[in-house]
Structure 1
Amino acid sequence: MMTFTNVNNPKLDFDKDIHFHRSNDSIRLSKRSFDMLVAIFIILCVLAWMIPVIGLLIKLTSSGPIIFKQLRTGLNGQPFKCLKFRTMIHNEESKIFKQTTFNDARVTKVGNWLRKTNLDEMPQFFNVLMGQMSIVGPRPHAIQHDAEFWNSLSNYKNRYTVLPGITGLAQVRGARGITDHSRKMQHRLRYDLHYIKKRSLSYDVQICWWTVKLMFRKDPNAW
């Protein structure tokens, strides 16, 4: 069981008797091969020029680092540093976790554009290359966010029996944005568990296609 001593500074404690279902070997191998090929292509052909360009825009409009690193829950509940383009005002003093809200004053002008187009997630292809994430899977939540639902929602921890993804079924179906109520998280969880049950390479390709289409049209939940 995962326990937390403080929502904003949680201490993770996984009992050894928790059983995480293992992926089918063929599915895991095909997904990993797909992830590696796409990640290497994106890093070499897209991020090679995108990081300098977006990095310059971030630096010209706000102070602070280009890349934001946040501790999130990964496979089997193991934490990892999730990479994103920084979209908020940098404040070293602010250590309290708070979900982004609509018209959040912390989001910069460049950050607002990055979030609406999902380009802020692009550095996560490095997480994929390192084996911490998959291209498609349940989105990883901040450790503090998981603390709110880990023990209160049935089967919540099962969303971490597979690698978390840059994109996922829940996101392309509109179950994204702030989860300020357990019903919203339950809705997202149903999509995540459905994906885990039905996952395959062809399903991943289809979800990637849906994600690309969403990037070119206005998503009301992207902010």
Structure 2
Amino acid sequence: MAFAVLALPILLVLAVVLYLANPHFNPGSVFFRQVRMGWDGKAFTMWKFRTMTDNGTSVRDANAPLEEHRITPLGRLLRRSKLDELPNILNIFTGDMSLVGPRPDAFEHANEYLIRVPHYRKRFTVRPGITGLAQVRGGYADNHRAVERKARYDIFYIENASFRLEMHVIASTFAVVFSGIGQR
């Protein structure tokens, strides 16, 4: 919660800047909302800054590759800097997310992974996070094998949760953000 309070002024300033820049560089709404599966398998709406053009639907098929052609130039910058995730702090205020935990998947994707990915269900025994061990160790999960790897990291995090591990994930997140590695 302390992180969310400290990050709120940055979120507000960036939202205003994007509101002014969007008509020229990223036409459409500033925010993107998507239903994700969270703690105990419950649905919640996750907030992000929008980085892609509208495709008429909010969820692509779980097996479909990322539609990189839809990412706008401004969106690419937001993704590379990870600033597109900053509105997730709103989900901390609502209690749907924490700073560190398994990254929540789109609700429809999570339902499919529950069937196809071993031990995936265990991810829902904790609150999802803005960042997690899977994000800093495994990078972007865009196929079945990557989702299995992500689930293994998430389970390791859950089974070994400690203040030290959380500090490691937070420090690693800053390293990933400043290096630009791990995100499309």
| Contact residue 175 and residue 187 of structure 1 kept, 8 A | no
Unpaired runs of 5+ in structure 1?
A: 1-35
Most deviating of 78-87 and 184-193: 184-193
Aligned counterpart, 2:5: 40
Aligned counterpart, 2:30: 66
Secondary structure in 2 matching 1:204:
helix
Which residue identity does 1:106 align to in structure 2? R
Q: Confirm whether residue 112 of structure 1 aligns to residue 73 of structure 2.
A: no
Name the structure with the higher helix share.
2
Which residue identity does 2:3 align to in structure 1? V
Aligned counterpart, 1:222: 183
Q: Confirm whether residue 185 of structure 1 aligns to residue 147 of structure 2.
A: yes
Q: Confirm whether residue 164 of structure 1 aligns to residue 116 of structure 2.
A: no
Q: Confirm whether residue 97 of structure 1 aligns to residue 60 of structure 2.
A: yes
Aligned counterpart, 2:16: 52
Match runs of 1:5-20 below 5 Å: none
* TM-score, length basis structure 1: 0.76
* TM-score, length basis structure 2: 0.91
* 1:60-113 CA-partner distances (Å, limit 9, x unpaired): 22322100000000100000000000000124x335524684671111011111
| Contact residue 36 and residue 45 of structure 2 kept, 8 A | yes
| Contact residue 26 and residue 73 of structure 2 kept, 8 A | no
State the aligned residue count. 183
> Are residues 77 and 85 of structure 1, via their aligned partners in 2, closer, same or farther at CA, if it must alter by over 3 Å?
same
Instruction: Compare CA radii of gyration and give the structure with the larger one.
Output: 1
What's the Cα RMSD here? 1.8
- Once the two structures are TM-superposed, the CA of residue 218 in structure 1 deviates from its matched residue by 2.9
> Are residues 96 and 171 of structure 1, via their aligned partners in 2, closer, same or farther at CA, if it must alter by over 3 Å?
closer
- Once the two structures are TM-superposed, the CA of residue 195 in structure 1 deviates from its matched residue by 0.3
- Once the two structures are TM-superposed, the CA of residue 130 in structure 1 deviates from its matched residue by 1.1
Which residue identity does 1:39 align to in structure 2? A
- Once the two structures are TM-superposed, the CA of residue 117 in structure 1 deviates from its matched residue by 1.4
CA distance in structure 2 between the partners assigned to 1:153 and 1:125 by the alignment: 28
Unpaired runs of 5+ in structure 2?
A: none
Secondary structure in 1 matching 2:75:
helix
* 1:3-29 CA-partner distances (Å, limit 9, x unpaired): xxxxxxxxxxxxxxxxxxxxxxxxxxx
- Once the two structures are TM-superposed, the CA of residue 194 in structure 1 deviates from its matched residue by 0.4
